[in-house]
Amino acid sequence: MNVFSRPSPEARGLGMTGQRARDRLIARLKEEGIADRRVLEVLARLPRHLFIEEALASRAYEDTALPIGQGQTISQPWVVARMTEALIEEKIPDKVLEIGTGSGYQAAVLAALCGNVYTVERIEELLRDARRRFRKLGIGNIRSKHDDGRIGWPEFAPYDAIMLTAAGESVDAALFAQLASDGVLVAPVGPAGAQRLLRYRRDGEQWKAQMLGHVSFVPLLGGVA
């Protein structure tokens, strides 16, 4: 996995994209309840400004979602941190499936912590840009696919963990079928304005959900674009 130990000058950034800006973000995340040291260290190192348009780079280390084109957003850092720590709380998963690559930022965070990340994106242009960023940062443990994320990526199942970065009314049964029996699934669920962040674990023959908070995500759409 890549831990961003030797970032290039571009990755390190200057001014509003430099380490001081990142440190201020990390301090705020701690104040907002993010406690997992491993997650905080990755967010402190990972150059979020490389995952958004250059015109928005000065806002990269604000704790806010930002547009990335195609009607999509890069998630608020607090949400990325909360979802990630919920995914790895009990153990570090070796194999993770992400539904909704977007900018690639969440996948890069997971790749710094987990063994292998498989990510699916329905919008080809976004996936192309994300792949370029992975190559630029030297991240070698991410595999990506242009496809309808609602059907997952059965070829490499079962997964130790699955994360959805877009919200549906429910989680498709096809995704639970690709989750290991002791796995964990983290997803925003519900309609716009009433979405909840849920963590699912197996309880006997059923998957039981734990409420982690209220969130706001773009909708999980089918098909490809």
Any idea which residues carry the catalytic annotation?
75
Q: Is 20 left (phi over 0), alpha (psi -120 to 50) or beta?
A: alpha
Closest alpha carbon to 193 in 169, 165, 218, 216: 216
Q: Can you tell me the distance from the alpha carbon of 24 to that of 173, in angstroms, rounded to the nearest whole number? A: 40
Q: Can you tell me the distance from the alpha carbon of 75 to that of 139, in angstroms, rounded to the nearest whole number? A: 20
Tokens of 13: 């950034």
In contact, 116 and 92? CB cutoff 8 Å: no
Tokens of 76: 């608020």
